Amino acid sequence: MINVIFLTSIITQEIYYLVCGVLAVLVLAGIFFMSKVKTAVLGNRLSAIAMIFGIILVIVRYEYLLKWVLYASLVVGTIIGLIFAKKIKMIEMPQMVALLNGVGGAASGIVAIFAFLEIGADKSVFTTTTSLVAILVGFVTLFGSLVAAGKLHKVLPQKPVVLKNHQLISIILLVLMGAMIPLGVICSDFAIFFLIGAIVFSTLFGIAFTIRVGGADMPITISLLNSLSGVAGAIAGLAIGDVLLVAVGGIVGASGLLLTQIMCRAMNRQLIDILLGKTTVSSTSASQVNVPVTESIEPHNIIDPIEVLKNAKRVIIVPGYGMAIAQAQHLVKQLADKLIGQGAVVKYAVHPVAGRMPGHMNVLLCEANVEYEDLYELDDINPEFKDSDVTIVVGANDVINPAARMAEGTPIYGMPILNVDECSHIIIFNFDLKPGYAGVPNPIYTRTHGVSLQLGDAAKTIANILSKL
Amino acid sequence: MEIILVSIFVVATIIGYFLINNVPSLLHTPLMSGMNALSGVSVLGALIATAEAMEKGYVVLGGIFGSIAIILAMINVVGGFAVTDRMLKMFVHKGEKHD
Per-chain mean pLDDT for chain A: 85
ipTM: 0.91
Find the mean pLDDT for residues A68-90: 92
Q: Do A28 and B94 touch (CB under 8 A)?
A: no
* Range with lowest mean pLDDT among A174-178, A232-236, A298-302, A352-356: A298-302
- Give SS3 for B46: helix
Cβ neighbourhood burial of B76 (10 Å; 0-12, 13-18, 19+):
buried
**When comparing pLDDT for B70 and A215, which is higher?**
B70
- Cβ-Cβ contacts under 8 Å, A80 against chain B: 71, 74-75, 78-79
pTM of the model: 0.86
Residues in chain A within 8 Å Cβ distance of B79: 80-82, 84-85, 96, 100
Distance, in angstroms, between B57 CA and closest chain A CA? 11
- What is the arrangement of strands in the sheet containing A451-453, beginning at the earlier edge strand? A375-377, A345-350, A314-319, A390-394, A426-429, A451-453
| Together in a domain, A72 and A120 | no
pLDDT one-digit tens code per residue, A42-72 = 999 999 999 999 999 888 887 765 678 888 9
Probe site for chain A from B32, B89, B92 (most A CB atoms < 10 A) = B32
Same domain, A324 and A445: yes
Domain identity same for A97 and A240: yes
- The full DSSP string for A151-188 is HHTTSS-SS----TTHHHHHHHHHHHHHHHHHHHHH-G
Residues A457 and A330 in one domain: yes
Query: Please, what is the end-to-end C-alpha distance for chain B in angstroms?
Result: 52
Compute the distance between CA of residue B30 and CA of residue B86 in angstroms, rounded to an integer: 9
Residue A292: per-residue pLDDT: 45
| Contact residues on chain B for A357, CB-CB shorter than 8 A | 28-29, 32
- CB-defined contacts A:B, below 8 A: 386
Question: What per-residue confidence (pLDDT) applies to A10?
Answer: 58
DSSP assignment letter at A281:
P
Mark which residues 323-342 of A lie under 8 Å from B by CB. none
Reported as half-sphere exposure (CB side, CA atoms, 13 A), residue A339 has a value of 28
Mean pLDDT of B15-34: 90
Residue A37 above 80 pLDDT? yes
Contact: A258, B1; criterion CB under 8 Å: no
| pLDDT above 70 as % of chain A | 91
CA distance A184 to chain B (A): 19
DSSP three-state, residue A74 = helix
Please indicate, yes or no, if residue A285 is contained in any of the structural domains: no
Contact A269, A281 (CB under 8 A): no
- How far is residue A194's CA from residue A187's CA, in Å, rounded to a whole number? 9
Number of domains chain A is built from? 3
Q: Tell me the per-residue pLDDT of A292-339, one tens digit each, with 9 for 90 and over.
A: 444 445 556 678 888 888 888 999 999 988 898 888 889 999 999 999
Residues A247 and A304 occupy one common structural domain: no
**Where does the pLDDT of residue A452 fall: very low under 50, low under 70, confident under 90, or very high at 90 and above?**
confident
The C-alpha angle with vertex B31 and arms to B29 and B36, in degrees rounded to 5, equals 95
Helix, strand or coil for residue B32? helix
Considering the domain architecture, whether residues A159 and A23 belong to the same structural domain is answered as no
φ and ψ of A170, to 5 deg: -60, -45
End-of-domain residue from the set A280, A304, A336: A280
Cβ <8 Å between A104 and B42: yes
User: Is residue B85 within 8 Å of residue A46, measured between CB atoms?
Assistant: no
A45 located within any domain? yes
d(CA A119, CA B69): 14
Domain endpoint, select from A38, A71, A87: A87
Rounded CA-CA distance A364/A97 in Å is: 15
Per-domain boundaries in chain B: 30-98
| pLDDT at A97 (0 to 100) | 92
Q: What is the pLDDT of residue A223?
A: 92
Instruction: Please report whether residue A286 resides in a domain.
Output: no
Domain boundary among A249, A280, A311: A280
Which of A317, A279, A270, A313 lies closest to A426 in space, CA to CA? A317
Q: What pLDDT band is residue A251 in, cutting at 50, 70 and 90?
A: very high
How far B59 CA lies from chain A's nearest CA (Å)?
Answer: 10
Residue ranges making up the domain that contains A146 = 92-280
Q: Is B3 on the interface with A (CB under 8 A)?
A: no
Q: What is the pLDDT of residue B99?
A: 39
Give the pLDDT confidence score for residue B25 in this predicted structure. 86
Find residues 57-86 of chain B whose CB sits inside 8 Å of chain A: 58, 62-63, 65-86
Q: Please report, rounded to a whole number, the percentage of residues in chain B having pLDDT higher than 70.
A: 93
Confidence of residue A77 (pLDDT cuts 50, 70, 90): very high
Packing angle between helix B59-98 and helix B28-39, nearest 10 degrees? 160
A77 in the same domain as A102: no
The answer to whether residue B21 scores a pLDDT higher than 50 is yes
CA distance A228 to A104: 10
A390-394 and A314-319 strand pairing: parallel
Angstrom distance (rounded) from CA A193 to CA A201: 12
- What is the model's pLDDT at position A278? 59
- Across the range A125-148, mean pLDDT stands at 93
> What's the gap in Å between the CA of A378 and the closest CA on chain B?
10
Backbone region of residue A313 per phi and psi (left: phi > 0; alpha: psi in -120 to 50; beta: other values): alpha
Tell me, yes or no, whether A181 and A164 share the same domain.
yes
Q: What are the φ/ψ torsions at residue A11 (nearest 5 degrees)? A: -80, 90
Shortest CA gap A175–chain B (Å): 25
- Could you give the residue numbers annotated as active site of A? 398
Q: Could you tell me if A169 and A83 lie in one domain?
A: no
Partner residue opposite B47 with nearest CB, options A41, A59, A252: A59
The answer to whether A67 and B5 have CB atoms below 8 angstroms apart is no
Looking at the domain assignment, is residue A137 inside a domain? yes
Indicate the range of A192-206, A207-221, A242-256 predicted with least confidence. Answer: A207-221
Instruction: Tell me what the mean pLDDT of segment A231-242 comes to.
Output: 92
Judge whether A225 lies within some domain: yes
pLDDT at A282: 44
Residues 65-94 (A) with a CB less than 8 A from some CB of B: 67, 69-70, 72-74, 76-78, 80-82, 84-86, 88, 90, 93
pLDDT for position A446? 82
